[in-house]
Amino acid sequence: MNKQELLKQLRGKLVVSCQANESNNPFNSPEDMVKMAKAAVEGGAVGFRANGPACVGAIKKAFPELPMFGIWKVETEGCDVYITPTMREIDVLNEIGCEVIAIDATDRLNCLGKKAWELIPEIKAKYPNQLIMADIATIHDARCAYKAGADIISTTLSGYTEESKETIKEGNADFELICQIRKEFPDAFINAEGRLWTREDAKRALECGADIIIIGSAITNPIKATERFVKFIAK
- Residue 22 is predicted with a pLDDT of 74
For all residues of the chain together, what is the average pLDDT? 96
Give how many domains the chain has, as a whole number. Answer: 1
Condensed to tens digits (0 to 9), the pLDDT of residues 150-188 reads 999 999 999 999 999 988 876 889 999 999 999 999 999
What is the C-alpha separation between 205 and 191, in angstroms, rounded?
9
Condensed to tens digits (0 to 9), the pLDDT of residues 196-235 reads 999 999 999 999 999 999 999 999 999 999 999 999 999 8
**Phi, psi for 48 (deg, rounded to 5):** -135, 155
Condensed to tens digits (0 to 9), the pLDDT of residues 118-144 reads 999 999 999 999 999 999 999 999 999
Catalogue the long-range contacts made by 27-30 (C-beta closer than 8 Å, 24 or more residues apart). 27/220, 27/222, 30/54, 30/55, 30/57, 30/58, 30/59
Condensed to tens digits (0 to 9), the pLDDT of residues 44-80 reads 999 999 999 999 999 999 999 999 999 999 999 999 9
CATH number at residue 102: 3.20.20.70
Q: What domain range is 218 assigned to? A: 3-234
Which candidate, 98, 154, 147, places its Cα nearest to that of 127? 98
State yes or no: pLDDT of 24 exceeds 90.
Answer: no
